[in-house]
């Protein structure tokens, strides 16, 4: 069993596709083990994406991620990290495969609807950033 952190980003919430995103994860056999809606401050977005702090898109990314409510979830299942990334599609929707969330709904590499952790260490950091042990079902 593996856990990963996924976020329906502000554009996904604005497009009213929260249920669509969660449904795609659930239909693939993955289980939501923690869930909440939150409005990230700029500082919280900066902390979450600290690994990208030297990248040219950091300012714009953190402004976007704090531009409206997001839905945060911890997802569990066999191979959950890769499974979620496969369901999301490539970061840039121009490169996303047909049938993926980003191909179907994303507008750009920044407004790309959904986030998923990229490795076990990142998943552990990202789940712990938003959820404490009491908020995660077993
Ligand atoms: P995400 O999976 O949330 O991880 C980091 C995010 O940075 C990524 O999705 C994109 O939304 C964003 N990102 C990555 N590369 C670029 C880029 N070249 N320009 C703008 N945003 C980017």
Burial class for 76, CB neighbours closer than 10 Å (0-12, 13-18, 19+) = middle
Catalytic one among 13, 48, 115, 116?
115
Q: List phi, psi (to 5°) of 70.
A: -125, 160
pLDDT 10s digits, 49-74? 999 999 999 999 999 999 999 999 99
Answer for the pair 126, 5: CB distance below 8 angstroms, yes or no: yes
CA dist 10 and 12 (Å) reads 5
Q: In 10 A of CB 51, how many CB atoms? A: 11
Residues with CB under 6 A from ligand 1: 52, 57, 61, 91, 109-110, 112, 115
Q: If DSSP codes are grouped into helix, strand and coil, which group holds residue 46?
A: helix
How far apart are alpha carbons 64 and 36 in whole angstroms?
19
Tokens encoding 59: 């300012």
Q: How far is CA 17 from its chain centroid?
A: 13
Let me know how many helices (H) and strands (E) the chain has, helices first: 7, 4
Residues 17-34 pLDDT 10s: 999 999 999 999 999 999
pLDDT at 105: 98
The pLDDT tens digits of the residues spanning 95-137 come to 999 999 999 999 999 999 999 999 999 999 999 999 999 999 9
Tokens 């990963």 appear where?
4
- Return phi, psi of residue 36, to 5°: -160, 155
Q: Is 52 a catalytic residue?
A: no
């Amino acid at each position: 069993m593996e856990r990963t952190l996924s976020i329906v980003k502000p554009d996904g919430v604005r497009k009213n596709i929260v249920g669509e995103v969660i449904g795609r994860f659930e239909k693939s056999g993955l289980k939501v083990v923690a869930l909440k809606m939150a409005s990230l401050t700029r500082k919280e977005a900066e902390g979450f994406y600290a690994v990208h702090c030297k990248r040219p898109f950091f300012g714009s990314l953190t402004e976007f991620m704090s531009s409206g409510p997001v839905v945060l979830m911890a997802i569990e299942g066999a191979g959950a990290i890769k499974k979620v990334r496969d369901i999301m599609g490539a970061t840039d929707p121009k490169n996303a495969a047909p049938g993926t969330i980003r191909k179907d709904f994303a507008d750009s590499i920044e407004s790309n609807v959904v986030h998923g952790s990229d490795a076990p260490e990142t998943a552990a950091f990202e789940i712990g950033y938003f959820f404490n042990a009491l908020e995660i079902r077993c």
